[in-house]
Structure 1
Amino acid sequence: MALLTLAEAKAQLDIESTAHDTELQLYIDSLAAVIESYVGPVEDRQVTELAQAHGGVVCLLNTPVVSVASLTPALSGGTAYTPDLLQVDGPSGVIRLLSGGYLCGGPWTVTYTAGRGGVPPTVKLAALILLQHLWRTQNGAARGGGPADDYSVTEPIPGFGYAVPNRVLQLLEPYKRGPGIG
């Protein structure tokens, strides 16, 4: 699963030739980092992380979580847990024991899939609009189509500067990451 394919990008930009495919692929490949810095993982990926238990649960850093493959003690000894013994809250990345028992100490080695199990249509639309905006700033309005001021960003957005139009952030808002664990 990809955030955008080359064919989707070319359709958005009304590009029919292959002359810009290499450059355009660089733009496509760069979109995920920008989008995911705001909403967390979109494209599914396997993650292995060392985590500590606090309050009887383990909190994962890369959310949302699609599934957990294993939870094992990083040090020798201790009990390993299989997925059928765990309850995972996908949006928050919190792992609990189904038995109601407490996970203690650590470090725990957790192998899991972070992402969304598919790219939500609103996130895909945000990626297409961001692609069009970035393509226009590099290559001019003539190659991106539409009026020159259609993608204007008049105020820098904290953490994003002028690179991400407000319309993209508004589309991503329902998927925005919560505050980090302190």
Structure 2
Amino acid sequence: MALLTLDEAKAQLNLTTVTHDVELQAYIDSITAMVEWYVGPVEPRTVTETVNGRGPTLALSQIPVVSLTSIVPILAGGLALDVADLVVDGTHGIVRRVTGDVFYGGPWTVLYAAGRETVPPTLNLAGRMLIQHLWRTQQGPGRPGLGGADDFDVTQPVPGFGYAVPNRVLQLLQPYRLPPGVA
């Protein structure tokens, strides 16, 4: 599963040959990183991280969380927890014990899958529009037939993105935006 496939990008750009496939794939890989910076992982991936914490919850840094594989204490002598005894709030990356007991004996090494099981159509459309916006740099200034500026031009830099991401793409990404403080 990908945010945007090569065939989808070519359809958005009305490209029918393989002439630009290698270069276009580089653009696709780049926009995936840009979108995921804003909304978190889109393409599923395995994450291993160290989580500190004692108390009723553990917070994972990569959201959304698709599934939890294991939680093992780093300190010698600790016992791994059975994931069947844990509940994960995938949207927020919060892990709780089914019994309500606290976590102790950490820090923990947590292995889990982050991303989305399917790419929401809105994120795919944002990817299509972003690839179209960036691909226009290949056409150079004075694009014939467009009469100068058009609705893909970005006249004001967007914080964190500069001129690379038009506002229309950010508006599509907004419902999926990571909450403050999540990296």
Normalising TM by the smaller chain, what interval?
A: over 0.9
Partner of 1:180: 181
Q: Give the superposition deviation at 1:82.
A: 2.1
Q: Give the superposition deviation at 1:78.
A: 1.8
Alignment of 1:98-117 (within 5 A): 98-117=98-117
Instruction: Tell me the SS of whatever aligns to 1:69.
Output: strand
Q: Give the superposition deviation at 1:105.
A: 4.9
Alignment of 1:29-40 (within 5 A): 29-40=29-40
Partner of 1:61: 61
Instruction: Tell me the SS of whatever aligns to 2:150.
Output: helix
- For residues 3 and 142 of structure 1, do their structure 2 counterparts lie closer, same or farther at Cα, with a shift above 3 Å needed? farther
Tell me the alpha carbon deviations over residues 21-77 of structure 1, each in whole angstroms, 9 at most, x when there is no partner: 111010011111100010011110000101112432110010110110001101211
Distance of 1:54 and 1:171 partners within structure 2: 38
Partner of 1:136: 136
Q: Give the superposition deviation at 1:107.
A: 1.3
Gaps of at least 5 residues in structure 2 are none
Partner of 1:152: 153
* TM-score normalised per structure 2: 0.92
* TM-score normalised per structure 1: 0.93
Of the structure 1 ranges 69-78 and 123-132, higher mean CA displacement relative to structure 2 is found in 69-78
Distance of 1:146 and 1:10 partners within structure 2: 21
Partner of 1:77: 77
Instruction: Tell me the SS of whatever aligns to 1:10.
Output: helix
Distance of 1:150 and 1:140 partners within structure 2: 16
Partner of 1:168: 169
Distance of 1:150 and 1:138 partners within structure 2: 17
- For residues 54 and 146 of structure 1, do their structure 2 counterparts lie closer, same or farther at Cα, with a shift above 3 Å needed? farther
Instruction: Tell me the SS of whatever aligns to 1:50.
Output: strand
Instruction: Tell whether the 8 Å contact from 1:53 to 1:105 is kept in structure 2 after alignment.
Output: no
Q: Which has the higher helix share?
A: 1
Q: Identity percentage over the alignment?
A: 57
- For residues 165 and 116 of structure 1, do their structure 2 counterparts lie closer, same or farther at Cα, with a shift above 3 Å needed? same
CA RMSD of aligned residues (A): 2.0
Instruction: Tell whether the 8 Å contact from 1:6 to 1:24 is kept in structure 2 after alignment.
Output: yes
Partner of 2:2: 2
Alignment of 1:9-20 (within 5 A): 9-20=9-20
Partner of 1:28: 28
Partner of 2:123: 123
Q: Give the superposition deviation at 1:132.
A: 0.3
Q: Give the superposition deviation at 1:157.
A: 0.7
Gaps of at least 5 residues in structure 1 are none
Distance of 2:60 and 2:89 partners within structure 1: 10
